[in-house]
Amino acid sequence: MPRPQQQLFETEPAPWEEDDQSRQLTASVVLAEGPAQEFDYLVPDNLRDSVEPGRRVKVPFGAGNRLVVGYCVGLEDRPVGRRKLKPLHSVLDEHSLLSPAMLRLTRWIAERYLCDWASVLEAVLPAGVRVAAGTRLSTLLSVDEAAVRWLTKAFPEQTPVAPGATTDRDPIAKLTPKQLEVLKVLLAAKEAMTSGELARAARCGPGPIAALRRKGLIRSHTGRIATFRPDEFQRASEQHLVLNQDQEQALRIILDAMNARRHQTILVHGVTGSGKTEVYIQAIQEVVHFGRQAIVLVPEISLTPQTVDRFRRRFGAVAVLHSHLSDAERHASWQRIVEGAATVVVGARSAIFAPTPNLGLIVLDEEHESSFKQETAPRYSARDVAIARAEAEGIPLILGSATPSLESWHRAKTGQYTLVEMPRRVMDRPLPAVGTIDLRAEKGRNLSSGALSRQMVAAMKAALDEGGQVILLLNRRGFSTHIQCPACGFVVRCPECDIALTHHRKEEIALCHYCDYEVPAPTACPSCQFIGIRYSGLGTQRLEAEVRARFPEVVSLRMDTDTMQAPGSHQRALAAFRSGKVRILLGTQMIAKGLDFPDVTLVGVINADTALHLPDFRAAERTFQLVTQVAGRTGRGPKGGRVLVQTFSPDHPAIRAAVRHDYAAFAAGELPIREMLCYPPFAAMIRLVIRGRSEPVALEFAKTIAERLAVSLQQHAADARVLGPAPCPFARLKGRYRFQIQVQGPDAGRLRSAVAAATADLQPPDDVQWIVDVDPVDML
C-alpha cells in the first residue's frame, strides 16, 4: 500500500550553496523495485520538456547513487527547501505510457488491495511495452526545414512549407537529378525513413543520400522502427441479427445509460443461449458509431478463436490481448489501441488496463468466473477494477452471466446494479432436459466399474446413432488421481507438497499438479515392495481410454491443459469438432464455456462432486455454475439436446437447482447461509497466508500477525472477527508449510485500514513469506 511521500536527501548544503531560485520543478517517483513509497527528485532544466507523469525515469538511489528505474507519477512546482534534492538522471520513454486516468486507477488498486503501487504499475504496463518489443533503434532521416521551403517552391504539389523555414539562397539548381529525387521522396513520406528505406523508395544507392546529409538538406535522428508487422485488420463482414423481445429490452437499457453519458453497472442475467453476446455487440456498435472504443473481457478459458472471430466479423478493427501473445504482438496491439486504430479490445483479465483514449463501454462476460481474480501480486479483481474504471470514466459497465456471482446478484437485487433478465433462449428453443444418475446405486450394485454409467453409455450411443455429437466434462486431469498400496496403506505423495501424485499414463509418470515434481509411475509399493499397488481415482486420460474402448469407431478428442499446450492446438481441436470430424469431445472446464455447437445433443457430467465438498464457502456455488454452464452447451440447434449428471449427491441443493436451471432458487437457498456465517456478499473478507520451510517458525509468525490484527481492529473500531491462524487446506506446497488467517467484517474500508496498520512494519523471520489477499477467491 502506498505510504506517505518521503524525500531523498543529500547532505545539508552550506548557506552559500543555496539555490538562488525560489521555486523548483519536483518529480514524484515510484521505484520499480525498492521501498514502497514515493520519492521526490529535482527535474533539471535539460529534462523539463521530456518528463511528465506516466513516463519512466532513471534516478540515483541510496548512498551510492545507484541508478534505478522508476515511474514519474506527479510533477509539482514547489518552493526550494533547505535541503537539496537529487536530480533525475534521464527519461526513458519518448511518450507517456500511462495516462493520468490510468495512474489514478493504479493508485486506487494499490490502496484497495493493500499492495505496492509499483507492483500495480508493472502489472498494468506489459513487459513488451516497457522494452518496446518488435522495434529497434535506428537512424532516421527527414528533410531539413530550410530545404522544405526550397522544394515547395520547385514542387508546389508537395508538402507545405514548415513554419519559420527560411533560407538565404536556393541550392536546388545545384542538385543532381538523383539527389532531387531523393528529396522529393523523403518530402512526400508521411514519416521519417531509414537510409535503406529511402534508397529503395528513390531507387538509388547510398551516395546521393550521403551527399544530401553533408549539404545539410537531410537531417538525422535516432528513433525506433518496427521489426514486427502485425496482421492487417480484417473487414467487417456480417450484419446485425434481429433481436427478440428480451434482447431488445436489454439493449434499450444499455443504450439509455450510454446516451445519458452516465455510469451504470448493468447485470445481464440471461440463460445459456439467450443471445447475450449479440446484445453486447449491438451496444458496442453504437459506441463505435460515435467514434469511441469498447473493452470486452472474457475469461481466458473462453477466449476461443470462435469468440474472437465473432467480434472480428462484426467490427474488423479488433485488438486481442491474452497471455499467449508474444511481447512483440502485445506491444503492437497496445500501439493500435493507443492510436485509436483498434475500436474494440477483446481480452482476458489484464485487458481491463487497455490504454483506450476514447473508452465508451466495458463488457465483462461470464462475470462469475474465478479467473477474473489475479492470484499473484497485485491480487486485483478485474470485475471490481472494471467497476472503478467505468465509474471514473462515466460510462456503462455490462456484467453478463447465466450464473452470476452471488455478490453481483445481491447488489442487483438491492438496487446497487441494474438487473436485466433474459429468461428465454433465442428462437424460443427450450433449455435442455437435465437428469441425474445416482452413482451410489451404480457402484453399490456393481453396475459400472468405469467412469461411464450404463445410462450414460446408452445415451451416448443414442445421440451418436442419431447423428449428434457428445461433450463429456470431467474437471480432473491425468489418468489416476490416487496411487496407494493395499498391503501397507502407503500413498504416493509429493515430497514438497501435501498432495497425492496423479498418474499420467502416456508419459508413465506420477506428477504433482502444484509444483511439477514427477517420478516414474511405480510398479510396486515404494515402501513395502508389494507388487499389487493400486491406481484409483478418475482423470481425463482414463475417461478418454474408456470412451475409445467403448466407441472404437467414433473419433474422440481430449481437451485439457496437457493436450492443449502447442500453439494453435485449441483452435485446431475446436475446428475438428465443429466440422464433425470429431464426434466426442471430452475434457476439463475449458470445454464448459464459450462454445456454441448446434449438433451437440448430449452433455455428460462425469462427476459433479469434484468441487462440491472442498473446504471453500463457494464450493456449492461453483458446482452449480459449472453444471449449469456445461449443460448450456447442448440444445442450441434444431436437434435439441439433453444433459446427464453423474453424482454421489443428487439431493444436494446445488445439484437440484442446476438440474432445474433454477438460479433464483439456488441463490435463495445459499444467501441466507452466507449471511448467517458473515461471508460475502454480507461481509468483506481479507485472507492472509503465511508460509515457511519451518512449520513452528511459520506458525509463530502467523500468531504474531493474528495478535496484531486483533489490536488494530479494535483501534479502528472495526466490528470484525479474526479466524486463525490455522493450516491451509493444502497445508504444504512446494516445500513450505502454509497457515491462513481470515478477517471478516461488514465495513470493508475499516477492515482494510486495520489490516494495513497491523502489517505496516512487519519483519518476517528469515525464509518466511506472507501475503494479503483482499476479497479472496482461492481459499485453498
247-281 confidence digits (pLDDT tens): 999 999 999 999 888 899 999 999 988 899 999 99
Which pLDDT does position 399 carry in this prediction?
A: 97
Which pLDDT does position 324 carry in this prediction?
A: 78
Phi, psi (deg, nearest 5) at residue 385: -65, -40
Residues 6 or more apart from 448 whose CB is under 8 A from it?
442, 454
Distance CA 505, CA 326 (A): 32
Q: Average of pLDDT values for 523-542?
A: 87
State whether residue 344 is helix, strand or coil: strand
Distance CA 343, CA 359 (A): 9
In Å, how far are 477, 496, 655 from 501, measured between CA atoms? 11, 11, 29
Distance CA 609, CA 474 (A): 10
Which pLDDT does position 130 carry in this prediction?
A: 84
Where residue 339 falls (left for φ over 0; alpha for ψ -120 to 50; beta otherwise) is alpha
Surface-to-core class of residue 549, CB atoms within 10 Å of its CB (0-12 exposed, 13-18 middle, 19+ buried): exposed
Distance of CA 471 to the CA centre of its chain: 27
Q: Average of pLDDT values for 311-322?
A: 88
**Percentage of the chain exceeding pLDDT 90:** 50
State whether residue 593 is helix, strand or coil: coil
Distance CA 273, CA 279 (A): 12
Distance CA 272, CA 320 (A): 24
Residue 167 has what DSSP assignment?
A: -
Q: Report whether 515 contacts 541 (CB < 8 A).
A: no
Distance CA 257, CA 274 (A): 22
Q: Average of pLDDT values for 533-559?
A: 89
Q: Average of pLDDT values for 579-594?
A: 85
Q: Report the 10 Å Cβ neighbour count for 198.
A: 24
Q: Average of pLDDT values for 180-207?
A: 85
- Res. 779: pLDDT tops 50: yes
Which pLDDT does position 285 carry in this prediction?
A: 93
Which pLDDT does position 561 carry in this prediction?
A: 81
Which pLDDT does position 150 carry in this prediction?
A: 63
Is pTM, for the whole model, over 0.95? no
Output the nine-digit C-alpha cell for 746: 461488514
Output the nine-digit C-alpha cell for 74: 506527479
Q: Average of pLDDT values for 79-101?
A: 89
Q: Report whether 463 contacts 473 (CB < 8 A).
A: no
Sheet holding 518-520, edge to edge: 502-504, 509-511, 518-520
Which pLDDT does position 548 carry in this prediction?
A: 93
- Res. 8: pLDDT tops 50: no
Distance CA 145, CA 141 (A): 12
Distance CA 397, CA 183 (A): 51
The residue to which cell 513509497 is assigned: 37
Reported confidence tier of residue 104, pLDDT bands at 50, 70, 90: very high
* Least confident segment among 26-35, 80-89, 451-460, 745-754: 80-89
Residues 6 or more apart from 384 whose CB is under 8 A from it?
112, 775
State whether residue 455 is helix, strand or coil: helix
DSSP letters, 300-341, are: GGG--HHHHHHHHHHHS-EEEE-TTS-HHHHHHHHHHHHHT-
Which pLDDT does position 368 carry in this prediction?
A: 93
Single out the residue of 351, 388, 355, 381 nearest to residue 367, CA to CA.
381
Reported confidence tier of residue 149, pLDDT bands at 50, 70, 90: low
In Å, how far are 447, 474, 607, 612 from 433, measured between CA atoms? 24, 20, 18, 22
The residue to which cell 472495526 is assigned: 718
Cβ density class 139-171: b for 16+ within 10 Å, e for less = ebbbbbebbbbbbbeeeeebeebeeeeeeeeee
- Res. 738: pLDDT tops 70: yes
- Res. 598: pLDDT tops 90: no
Phi, psi (deg, nearest 5) at residue 143: -75, 135
* Least confident segment among 101-115, 150-164, 339-353, 435-449: 150-164
DSSP letters, 364-432, are: EESTT-GGGB-SSSS--BHHHHHHHHHHHHT-EEEEEESS--HHHHHHHHTTSSEEEEE-S-GGGPPPP
Output the nine-digit C-alpha cell for 315: 467490427
Distance CA 373, CA 494 (A): 27
Distance CA 558, CA 451 (A): 15
Phi, psi (deg, nearest 5) at residue 432: -70, 145
Reported confidence tier of residue 14, pLDDT bands at 50, 70, 90: very low
Output the nine-digit C-alpha cell for 779: 481459499
- Res. 217: pLDDT tops 80: yes
Cβ density class 466-487: b for 16+ within 10 Å, e for less = eebbbbbbbbbbbbbbbbbbee
Distance CA 524, CA 54 (A): 61
Where residue 467 falls (left for φ over 0; alpha for ψ -120 to 50; beta otherwise) is left
Residues β-bridged to residue 304: none
DSSP letters, 630-668, are: HHTTSS-STT--EEEEEES-TTSHHHHHHHTT-HHHHHH
Provide the residue type at 209 as one letter.
I
Distance CA 205, CA 209 (A): 8
Provide the residue type at 195 as one letter.
S
Reported confidence tier of residue 15, pLDDT bands at 50, 70, 90: very low
407-464 confidence digits (pLDDT tens): 999 999 999 999 999 999 888 888 888 999 998 887 666 555 688 999 999 999 999 9
Most confident of 4-8, 199-203, 552-556: 552-556
**Percentage of the chain exceeding pLDDT 70:** 91
Which pLDDT does position 166 carry in this prediction?
A: 38
Q: Report whether 103 contacts 118 (CB < 8 A).
A: no
Output the nine-digit C-alpha cell for 147: 530545404
**CA 672, 678, 683: angle at the middle one, nearest 5?**
105
Provide the residue type at 648 as one letter.
F
Provide the residue type at 678 as one letter.
C
Residues β-bridged to residue 399: 267, 364
Q: Report whether 182 contacts 193 (CB < 8 A).
A: no
Output the nine-digit C-alpha cell for 396: 456503462
Output the nine-digit C-alpha cell for 120: 500495480
Q: What value does the mean pLDDT of the chain take? A: 86
Single out the residue of 97, 95, 92, 100 nearest to residue 124, CA to CA.
97
Provide the residue type at 453 as one letter.
S
Which has more pLDDT, 231 or 297?
A: 297
693-727 confidence digits (pLDDT tens): 999 999 999 999 999 999 999 988 788 889 989 99
Distance CA 12, CA 10 (A): 6
Which pLDDT does position 16 carry in this prediction?
A: 38
Surface-to-core class of residue 717, CB atoms within 10 Å of its CB (0-12 exposed, 13-18 middle, 19+ buried): exposed
What residue ranges in 127-180 does DSSP mark as E strands?
Answer: 135-143
Which pLDDT does position 156 carry in this prediction?
A: 53
* Least confident segment among 226-235, 298-307, 360-369, 512-521: 226-235
Q: Average of pLDDT values for 731-748?
A: 93
Which pLDDT does position 21 carry in this prediction?
A: 54
